[in-house]
Each structure stands twice: as structure tokens, then as C-alpha cells.
Structure 1
Amino acid sequence: MASVLGMLEGRETAARVRAEGLREEVARLAGVLEAAEIELDRRVIAREELVEALAASAAETTAVTEAEAEQETVPSPAPVPGSIVPPWREGLLVTVLAPHYQRILGVLDERQRAGQGPLKAREITVELGLGTTSAKVEGVRSKARRLAERGWLVRETSGMFSAGRRPVALPGADSSA
């Protein structure tokens, strides 16, 4: 009988070793499972954050687009630097011009109120406090010519500029209007 008892003890030991091996395998797999679950949670959170960010971005884009559409329908009364100089017409205020154009008109209007004559571009540049470099003078000359072409100033035959407003004919405009 000892041999049967020995056989049973051998099988028990083998089962115990096998169970211990399986416990170790389960512990290892539990660690792998935990790492996989952590990675899955991170991926789910990343996807949810991305969806939320895209939705917020789409909402902002829609709001900006709607705001731009509203701005396009309502003309802006404030001048925009570098904006186009509109032709002068009765009732049109100087404030429709960009600030640097307004300053040139201001210098010449002040000179006219003082009873003084027209100015050269160089003199306007000095009055504006821009110095006398050729780049500054030519910039002021260009702006003064544009103002004169559109009726905001008077350009004398000598090339000098003086204050004065006059309507100008628009190309393609109906003269009977």
C-alpha cells in the first residue's frame, strides 16, 4: 500500500507545483491585464478630449464666422490703416480716411485757417514731424497726390498742395445723377 500512498503523494506534489505555477501565471497575467486596462483608459480619455476640443473649435469657428458675417453687413465707421481714399463728396467727413491722411489734411487746413499759402511735400513732412529723408517726403507726396486726385486737397501747378475740397467725377458714373 505504500506504493499507492507514494503515488498519491507524488501526484499531490505535482498538482501543488502545477497550481503554484498557474498562480504565478495568473499574477503575471493580472499585471498585464492591469497595464492593458490603463492603456485602454488613456486611449478613451484621449479620444473624448479630442472630440471635445474639436467640438469647441467648431463652435468657435462658427461664432467667428458669424461675427465676421455681421461685420461685413455692418460697414465699419472707423478708418482702417492703409485703406483706400474715397473720392470727396459733400457731407463726407475726414474721419473716413486713415489717420495718416487725416494728419496731412489737418496740416493744410490749419495753414489755410492761418491765412498762409500752399506747402510742398517736404514742408508737410516737416510739419508732421517725420523729418526730411527722401523716403518720408516721397511717402507724404504720394499720399497728398492721392488726396488731391480724389478731391480732398488742391494740387497747384507748382506741385504744392493746399486745403480745399472739390467733387471729382468717378469713372463710369452717370453724369446726370
Structure 2
Amino acid sequence: MASVLGMLEEREAAARVRVEGLREEAARLAEVLEAAEIELDRRVIAREELVEALAVSAAETAAVTGAERETVVPSPVPGSVVPPWRDGLPVAVLAPDYQRILGVLEERRSAGKGPVMAKEIAAELGLGTMPGKVEGVRSKARRLAERGWLLLEASGMFSAGRRPVAVPDAGSSV
């Protein structure tokens, strides 16, 4: 019987080792499971936050583009992008330099004067007629014309006026 008892003790010890190994494996898997659950929770929260933010953004966009839209005018900053002109878009969306150029042309139109060269615009703005200043004004005036805020005559002269334009890449120039 001693040999049968010895065999049972050996089997018991092997079972004990196996149980201990499985307990260690279960503890390790519990840690892995906990880490995976934390990651899942983070991703669910991120998705919910994104969906909420997109819903708010869509609601704001719908409110602005609706039939009863209020004019939302972002504060322009020097060097900001010139958006394409569209009906109802106020001049206030433009950076101050662009607003001043439009102001000069609007005053000329009100006074019954015709188109003007960039050199004259620069002079009326008090920038002088130095080539660098004139080219800066010409560049800005061309950008305004490309975006529909004013008119560029075939002669290279500029005049006040608006026209809708389709500009596929309006954000590329400042």
C-alpha cells in the first residue's frame, strides 16, 4: 500500500503544481483583461466625445447656413485668408489691409470716379508710390479680385464691385 499511497501523493503534488500554475496564469490574464477593459473604455469615451463634438458642429453649421442665419463674423487678423465673396458676407471678415483697399475703391465709386491703378490706391492709403508698396497693394487687390470682392479691368485697373466666384482652393493664398 505504501507504493499506492506514494503514487497518490505524487499525483496530488502534480495537481497542486498545475493548480498553482493555472492560478498564476489566471492572475496574469486578469491583469491583461483589466488593461484591455481600460483601453476599451477610453476608446468608447473618445468616440462619444467625437460624435458629440460633430453633432454640435453640425448644429452650428446648420444654424449659420439656415434660411434665418445670423451673420457670424470671425475677427480678421493681418495675414488672414481672403474668403471668396458670396452674397451676405460682410467686409468685416477681411483683414484690415484688405478692408482699406475696398474702402478706397468704394469711395471712388461713390464719388463717380472710375477704375484706378494699384499705384493710386497705394497713394490714397498713404503708403507712397515706392515699387515695393505698390506691388504689395497690387497683390492684395488681385487677391480680392480673384475672390470676387472687387473687379479687375483688362487694363490692370481695379474698381469696386462684387461678383460670385468658384474658387476650389481659396485657402491657399493669404
- TM bin, normalised by shorter chain, reads 0.5 to 0.7
Aligned-CA RMSD value:
1.8
Report percent identity of matched pairs: 73
The residue identity in structure 2 corresponding to 1:97 is L
Gaps of 5+ in 2: 1-56, 61-71, 170-174
Structure 1 residue 171 displacement after superposition: 2.1
The residue identity in structure 2 corresponding to 1:123 is E
Structure 1 residue 170 displacement after superposition: 2.9
1:162 alignment partner, SS class:
strand
* Distance change (3 Å), C-alpha of 1:102 and 1:120: same
State the Cα deviation string for residues 42-100 of structure 1 (Å, max 9, x = none).
Answer: xxxxxxxxxxxxxxxxxxxxxxxxxxxxxxx8987210110000000000000000000
Given candidates 112, 115, 133, the residue that maps to 1:115 is 112
The yes-or-no answer on 1:104 pairing with 2:105 is: no
TM-score relative to the length of structure 1: 0.54
Runs of 4+ displaced beyond 2 Å = 73-76
* Distance change (3 Å), C-alpha of 1:162 and 1:76: closer
The residue identity in structure 2 corresponding to 1:171 is P
Q: Distance in 2 between matches of 1:123 and 1:76?
A: 30
Q: Distance in 2 between matches of 1:110 and 1:87?
A: 22
Q: Distance in 1 between matches of 2:122 and 2:101?
A: 9
- Counterpart in 1 of 2:134? 137
Q: Distance in 2 between matches of 1:118 and 1:129?
A: 18
Indicate the structure (1 or 2) with the bigger Cα radius of gyration: 1
Gaps of 5+ in 1: 1-72, 173-177
TM-score relative to the length of structure 2: 0.55
State the Cα deviation string for residues 120-158 of structure 1 (Å, max 9, x = none).
Answer: 000000000000100000000000000000000100000
State the Cα deviation string for residues 9-58 of structure 1 (Å, max 9, x = none).
Answer: xxxxxxxxxxxxxxxxxxxxxxxxxxxxxxxxxxxxxxxxxxxxxxxxxx
Q: Distance in 2 between matches of 1:136 and 1:160?
A: 16
Aligned length: 100
Given candidates 122, 125, 142, the residue that maps to 2:122 is 125
Quick one: higher RCO (CA 8 Å, sep 6+), 1 or 2? 2
The residue identity in structure 2 corresponding to 1:81 is P
Q: Distance in 2 between matches of 1:171 and 1:80?
A: 23
Structure 1 residue 167 displacement after superposition: 0.3
- Counterpart in 1 of 2:162? 165
- Counterpart in 2 of 1:156? 153
